[in-house]
Amino acid sequence: MTDISQSGPVLAADGTPLKRSLSRALRMQKLRALMLIAPLLLFILVTFILPVADMLFRSVENRIVQDTLPQTVEALADWDPASGQLPEEAVFAAMAADLQIAAKAKTHTRVAKRLNYENPGVSSVFRKSGRKVGKWDLATDGPFREKLIEIDDGWGDVELWRTIKTYSGSFTSGYFLNAVDMQLGAEGPEVRPENERIYNTMLVRTMRMSLIITFSCILLGYPVAWILANLPARKANLLLILVLLPFWTSLLVRTSAWKILLQQQGVINDTLVWIGLVDDANRLVLINNELGTIIAMTHILLPFMILPMYSVMQTINPSYLRAAKSLGATDWTAFWRVYFPQTVPGIGAGSILVFILAVGYYITPALVGGTKGTFISNLIAYHISTSGNWGLGAALGAILLAVVLLLYWVYDKVVGIDNVKLG
């Protein structure tokens, strides 16, 4: 009796206040959950998140000019490119000194390559001078202004010095500007000349083709999802296998199948010729162009559209449609005003998923796209592995990633990542 009548907080069995004891238990529970998650989180951070962040950092990092030509960068600080005058003799002397050190360490070609991305032609000026400057005596061989211009009259070009000054900071927006077909001019960012613009076209093409693929998937997927949702379960499960099998089949198998089928001497053209629809002399060009990429990718991504639509349509009560019809709606009105609006979440989920997957595709466009049907990913791969312009590749990658993450965020809002279903 004394226990109950006592005033003050309720106590747990061990004498601590119940409230504190409960919150401690909750804290323990949270801690235990986090302990279970921690190893994986750490694993993903190290093997995945850090590498991606590291690559994205390359799109703005620009230490090479500063590191290789430190004296020149310092001497150039006072020079005003807008004056149209060449820099002072001191700058040329600093450049000669820097070049001598760089040529010995063989780093002058790297900085030349870096500057060449921004101002084509710089590379040869540096390479040519690097060899000769090594033999100069810095104390007595001045003035260097005339001597450098004598080696290559590129040194007499104000533009070259402007480029060095513009790209002497530790960070640059140059790669990003390049990725959207702009450059850092004398008065800030400016659009590149017409003949140097390729990346915008590529971004626009990637977006346009991904949209076309998404729409083809909606068009082809909608009837299939509808019939799967409205057939008796046994038949539907059987037909579902026809959707799941492509989903499980290796991407390369499906791409090679299309590569073989779409050839000019392939099965599709053979069949069309045999039926007589196409003349043997002008077989259709179905591959190595945009059409090839669209056909193959629609096929590859179609299951990702059908499955979310199917799971939404399964939940729609068929009596709504019957009710609409009994109230006098025609088949079309009943479908368009009653059934279709209920399927929009499924279409949305499928479309975002297909679009996200499509914009980042690399393998299929590389194999069936030729030159006209490649995506931005192919360009990124080119810059990373072939051209060596990693900063530009990283900048293009950052733009692509931004688009994808934006859509991912929308997808999370609309569908929720927890609701992603596989198979």
Partner 1 sequence: MSALPPYATVGQRTWHYTFRVICGLVFFFLIAPIVVIIPLSFNAQDFFTFTPEMLRLDPDGYSLKHYRDFFNNDSWQSAMWNSLKIAPMATIVSVTFGTLAAIGLSQPHVPFRRAIMAILISPMIVPLIISAAGMYFFYSRIGLQGTYIGVVLAHAALGIPFVIITVTATLVGFDRSLTRAAANMGADPVTTFFRVQMPLILPGVISGGLFAFITSFDEVVVVLFVGSAGQKTLPWQMFIGLREQISPTILAVATILVAISIMLLATVEMLRRRSERLRGMSPS
Between residue 250 and residue 269, which ones bind partner 1 under the rule CB under 8 A?
250-261, 263, 265-267
Bridge partners of 182? Answer: 191
Smallest gap from residue 252 Cβ to partner 1 (A): 5
For residue 175, the minimal CB distance to partner 1 (Å) is: 14
Q: According to CB under 8 A, which residues from 7 to 36 bind partner 1? A: 26, 29-30, 32-36
Is residue 370 a contact point for partner 1 (CB under 8 A)?
A: no
Closer CB to partner 1, 125 or 301, in the complex:
301
**In Å, how far are 40, 54, 285, 376, 400 from 45, measured between CA atoms?**
8, 12, 46, 26, 21
For partner 1, the closer CB: 25 or 82:
25
Q: Which of 330, 309, 317 is nearest to 227 (CA)?
A: 309
Task: Tell which one of 73, 334, 366, 415 touches partner 1 (CB under 8 A).
Answer: 366
- Determine the length of the chain: 423
Cβ proximity to partner 1: between 86 and 404 the closer is 404
Q: Which of residues 323-342 bind partner 1 (CB under 8 A)?
A: 331
Rounded to a whole number of angstroms, the minimum distance from the CB of residue 239 to partner 1 is 7
Burial class (CB in 10 A: 0-12, 13-18, 19+), 172: buried
Q: Which residues pair with 184 in a beta bridge?
A: 189
β-pair partners for 17: 11
Q: Which CB atom, from 164 or from 367, has the smaller least distance to partner 1?
A: 367
C-beta closer to partner 1: residue 182 or 301: 301
Amino acid occupying residue 266: G
- CA nearest 265: which of 251, 250, 278? 278
Q: Which region among 4-12, 126-134, 159-167, 397-405 touches partner 1 (by CB under 8 A)?
A: 397-405
Q: Give dist(CA 16, CA 230) in Å, integer.
A: 60
Q: Which of 64, 180, 191, 227 binds partner 1 (CB under 8 A)?
A: 227
Site for partner 1 in 263-322 (CB under 8 A): 263, 265-267, 270, 299, 302-303
Q: How far apart are CA 135 and CA 142, in angstroms?
A: 13
Of 51-110, binders to partner 1 (CB under 8 A) are: 51-56, 58
Binder to partner 1 among 22, 138, 204, 239 (CB under 8 A)? Answer: 239
CA count, 13 A, side-chain hemisphere, 227: 10
Residue the block writes with tokens 């990658």: 397
Q: Does residue number 385 form part of the binding site for partner 1 (CB under 8 A)?
A: yes
What are the structure tokens assigned to 55, written together?
A: 């690559």
Q: Please give the single-letter amino acid code of residue 158.
A: V
Give the nearer residue to partner 1 in terms of CB position, either 54 or 150: 54
> Which residues sit opposite 347 in a β-bridge?
none
CB atoms within 10 A of CB 94: 21
Contact region for partner 1 (CB under 8 A) — 1-9, 42-50, 151-159, 185-193? Answer: 42-50
Q: Which of these segments, 102-110, 160-168, 193-201, 391-399, binds partner 1 (CB under 8 A)? A: 391-399
